[in-house]
Chain A
């Protein structure tokens, strides 16, 4: 039976680069996939593209391509990535430049576009999922709207001989499902196989998170050599059978336990995992450790794909201002609490208009509030106060950090290390768009 090996070269935009090089060098893979697009990244990228039409793709695209393009070209490894973000065409052009600068020839690069549905969303009577409000009611605040496309265009580009496929917003598992469909000739309505291919994509999409990254808990769950963590490889066969593994000798571990944590990562109802390609069912998935760092995954199935596409809507929501300062030594906690009281009173006294405020003691209660953080009577040696608030203007947000900073000369004794910041907030909401309204397209450039 035909088998292919797919490597996962990145789990997010800022991820390490050497594990991808290791995969290309020693992974005996045919496909190297880079998943680099978080929910909000595309809205930020849209902002960058507005300022400069040649930008708006992943900031590490050039570094990644320089690191792997030569190796992949020499070994016939095909690259699939969503590093196109808000501008797949510019990303493809940049990749061609890098290929040329490396002296590579005969490289076909595909850019998948059409996920940008801002115009379609604005013109119809569509509603925001979370609030039920019509999209039109927030028209002047909208920054971006990108539909999650499926595997179809990536499959088409691979069949057309593309060596590199660069997309914008595509469902993460689709990046991994596409080479399986293209290689094995699965039908786009073979729901069972698409479900199996999707679980493989879901396990690989966060790269190191299935090979022991984000898993270690010393003394309870130990993981070896995290500084040299190897990224995952899926060995997939035509019938949808799959083994998760990694490069021999690399750091980390692939075990049934690492796979179980990743299976449930960012999923809701395990029997109904919605993607543009299939409604996958992970509820009966099982893992069998077949050997060291080799785990067989079985039992995923699927049902007919949804008729609508999920759209991530980016909008200008508000502004956030923040200030922090540290206290240490005897009485640090009391001075920290006093500092927070002072800032609380100052914000009221000076009339700072915040719609929401938080007063945190970092190291004491800043993560889960007072009730969960009950002290056993001991005081921390050091504490860092943090005041953060939401406002309707940047000018107002700046005032929050200022009230923390002025504690230097006006607050409790021995406060140090003040920092402050103010920023605008592009927040995300969702909408559902009838699938026919998105118009995916593919453009090719050759190096």
Chain B
């Protein structure tokens, strides 16, 4: 299944750093998301966009992850040559990630 089936997401920007939240609709799915959406996978997914390190923070209390990605915005919103200078569309790209189905 797709990550989008069980989670929602929003991207924010600060300087040249982009952060993406991944939030489980049902907090019971959080362990599955935590196992599937590793910083390594996110770094690989965004290899053409993100040129710095990717760090992941977990917020199990609300069933959410926060990915902080360095050098992701072409030097920052004001100097970026990108059409989406804020990197706002990154959240929807991450939700397209294929993840293992729930064990039935």
Contacts and interface: CB of A to CB of B under 8 A. Distances in A.
Contact of B83 (A266, A285, A360): A360
A284 B58 CA distance: 10
A270 B82 contact: no
Given A268-B14, A367-B89, A40 B77 contact: yes
B12 A425 contact: no
A264 B48 contact: no
A285 B66 CA distance: 14
Interface stretch (A98-106, A149-157, A214-222): A214-222
A429 to B, nearest CB: 8
Interface string A318-329: 101000000000
Interface residues of A, number: 55
B14 A368 contact: no
Given A257-B8, A268-B17, A286-B61, A368 B79 contact: no
A261 B83 CA distance: 24
Prevailing SS type, chain B contact patch: mixed
A395 interface: no
Which of A221, A426, A427 has the most chain B CB within a 10 Å cutoff? A427
B8 A39 contact: no
A283 B59 contact: yes
A381 interface: no
Interface residues of B, number: 38
Which of A220, A268, A287 has the most chain B CB within a 10 Å cutoff? A268
Nearest to A426: B78
Interface of B: 4, 8-10, 12-17, 19, 21, 23, 25, 45-49, 57, 59, 61-62, 64, 66, 68, 75-79, 81-84, 89-90, 93
B40 to A, nearest CB: 16
B10 A261 contact: yes
B23 A261 contact: yes
Given A270-B57, A320-B79, A368-B90, 9 more contacts: A39-B76, A264-B10, A264-B64, A268-B19, A270-B59, A282-B59, A283-B61, A286-B62, A372-B45
A93 interface: no
A267 interface: yes
Contacts of A318: 79
A370 B59 CA distance: 33
Interface stretch (A234-242, A338-346, A383-391, A407-415): A383-391
A358 B49 CA distance: 13
Contact of A264 (B4, B21, B79): B21
Given A283-B59, A368-B49, A39 B21 contact: no
